[in-house]
Amino acid sequence: MKISKKSQYGLRAMIHLAQKDGSFCSLKEISEKELIPFNYLEKICSQMEKGGLLKSRKGVYGGYTLAKKHEDITVGELFRCLGERMLLVDCIDGICAQKKHCKSINAWEKIQKSLEKTINSITLISLIK
């Protein structure tokens, strides 16, 4: 499993906004400070806004801010919003002909649950403290 650039950039943008403590921040600032290509960041932020993680405001003092408190946003929620597929192996999703006889499925399921528990426990506030 490899985390996509989209999710990596999305997390960096969210951390940047979490540090702004409710202030609106322009895409230009985020792009420059976090070294994220502007056009790609624009698409990512739009997707996060549609997913309820960000809110936007137009105008001179506009930009983006978090739609929820930074202690309520988890890395798992962000990854799901951006369409990150967090499966370690396909057989967990039931796509394996050997699943009924597989001796390793229990290991994969335990590792998968541990991964999900971890990413769902990491909040933005824990990353900025």
3-class secondary-structure state, position 60 = coil
Measure the CA angle with vertex 21, ends 25 and 76; round to 5°: 90
- Specify the pLDDT at position 13: 98
From CA 116, how far away is CA 111, in angstroms rounded?
A: 9
The pLDDT score that the predictor gives to residue 93 is: 75
Q: Which helix (H) or strand (E) holds 63?
A: strand 63-66
Splitting the chain (129 residues) into consecutive groups of 10 residues, what average pLDDT does each group show? 92 97 94 97 97 94 94 96 87 73 85 94 95
Whether this model's pTM surpasses 0.95:
no
Residue 69: the pLDDT is 94
Nearest residue to 84 via CA among 48, 110, 58? 48
Mention every residue, 6+ apart, whose C-beta is less than 8 A from residue 52: 67, 68, 81
